[in-house]
Amino acid sequence: MVIMITMIKPFSALKFFKENKRKGLMTFVVLILSICAVSLITVLINSIHESYNDTVLKPFANYSIVGNTSHDIYLNQSVVDRLKSDSNIERLVPCDIDATNVSFSIGGGLTYGVFADKSDIGYYLDKVNDTVEQGRLPENNSKEIAVHRRVMSNKNWEIGQTVGNEKNSDEMLSGAFKIVGILDGPSITFVGTQTNRQGQYVKNELDTTKPINYAVFPKAGKMGAVNEMLDKINVNDASVTTYSILKSQGEESFASIDNTLIAIILAVTIILSISISALMYLIYLQRSDEFGILLAMGYRKSFIYRLIFKEVLALNIISWSVGLLASYLVIQLLNFLIYNPQGSMLNLFSANVFENTIYIPVAAVLFSVLPILSKMRKQDPITIIEGRN
């Protein structure tokens, strides 16, 4: 008996599935498809957050906007004085703000542009870490703009093209502007020197030395202090746009989406985990004779328990890894065919993708191993071999 045990003992965690490829392959494929489904759902929902972060939040991580109210022509003078006296502010850039609408396969939003003196545009781009990739910056007092390459891709714009709602009624950008440059960098934005509103001020001979808006650039490490000061400005005195305000607005808008994501992931995980567990439970029920023979030969139940746990765990870990790899390939294909041409990109490598998908192998291991072990505890080798159960 000792000799026989010594000869048979080296069981590998996947020995059964190697010798029973159809059963192993069936479970393997179901697990991989489950991982792919959950990861793709998560990535697609994440893309909505990332689009908002790229098109709105990133530029405002470096500056804030303080502007006039709807009942004022210029920025309130008391607010101007307050900003100029703040020691935490490095530079105030007189400007105007406009926006263009962008749309992706999932989600969309606005990209904000800054219109200021050409010298201030250079400072602005330096602060938001963008550069001119192609073409040039707009000249002063011109109907010209330079646009980030991702916006150009998303809207199928080209250098030399004239854009704006005077050319296309579906466009949010007010007026008609010739594109003279392409920007690149982490902040998705566009720049110009004169909006329609600024042009009307010039035409009506209003005082253009008084600011409509200020782009407020804090000194290094002082963004928090500056935004805290800006948040205290009365809404009747000025309109304020800061990173924290935009982030809060985004979180509020996406709250329902996030709750829906959690519900979908939870439902999919439970259904798939139970299905996979039931499949694995049936496979192990068919192996009762094998376990009965091992017990009759002198193997301890603890050894068989560990063997079952190792088999199930190894299969799930391998399936999870291959499922993530398969998801990565699918996402790369979607990026190549759909998202990159739109100036966007799906990203698999975020924490919640791993968190949401790991629940499937964990739940599958628990829901399959525990019932199997519970059934085996109630059996002895003789009844297993005789098939009484």
Q: DSSP string spanning 176-191?
A: -EEEEEEEESSS--EE
Domain containing 20 equals 2-51+252-386
> Mind listing the pLDDT tens digit for each residue in 126-150?
999 999 999 999 999 899 999 999 9
Please say if the pLDDT value at position 193 is more than 70.
yes
Distance CA 174, CA 347 (A): 33
96 and 39, same structural domain? no
Q: What is the pTM of this model?
A: 0.73
Considering 47-61, 156-170, 368-382, the range whose residues carry the highest mean pLDDT is 156-170
Is position 242 within any domain? no
CA distance 202 to 194: 10
Q: Which residue has the higher pLDDT, 161 or 380?
A: 161
Split into its structural domains, the chain has a count of: 2
- 243-285 vs 21-52: helix crossing angle, rounded to 10: 170
Instruction: Say if residue 294 is in the same domain as residue 361.
Output: yes
% of the chain exceeding 90 in pLDDT: 34
Check residue 13 and give its pLDDT: 54
Instruction: Give the E-state strand segments of 116-269 in sequence order.
Output: 131-135, 144-148, 162-163, 177-184, 190-192, 213-218, 239-241
Boundary (domain end) residue, out of 191, 208, 237 = 237
CA-wise closest residue to 318 among 3, 72, 25: 25
Burial class (CB in 10 A: 0-12, 13-18, 19+), 61: middle
Please report the pLDDT score of residue 177 as a whole number: 96
The answer to whether residue 228 is domain-embedded is yes
Q: Which helix (H) or strand (E) holds 40?
A: helix 21-52
Q: Counting runs of H as helices and runs of E as strands, what totals does the chain give?
A: 14, 10
Of 23, 100, 39, 32, the closest CA to residue 328 belongs to 39
Highest mean pLDDT among 176-180, 204-208, 228-232, 359-363: 176-180
The segment with the largest mean pLDDT, out of 233-237, 249-253, 277-281, 294-298, is 233-237
Burial of 199 per CB tally in 10 Å (0-12, 13-18, 19+): middle
The tens digit of pLDDT for each residue in 52-93 reads: 887 778 888 889 999 998 888 889 999 999 999 999 999 999
Question: Do 280 and 143 fall into the same domain?
Answer: no
Tell me the residue length of the chain. Answer: 389
Please measure the distance between the N-terminal and C-terminal CA atoms of the chain and give it in whole angstroms.
27
Mean pLDDT of the chain: 83
Do residues 308 and 187 both lie within one domain? Answer: no
pLDDT score recorded for residue 65: 94
Of 210, 215, 203, which Cα lies nearest the Cα of 92? Answer: 215
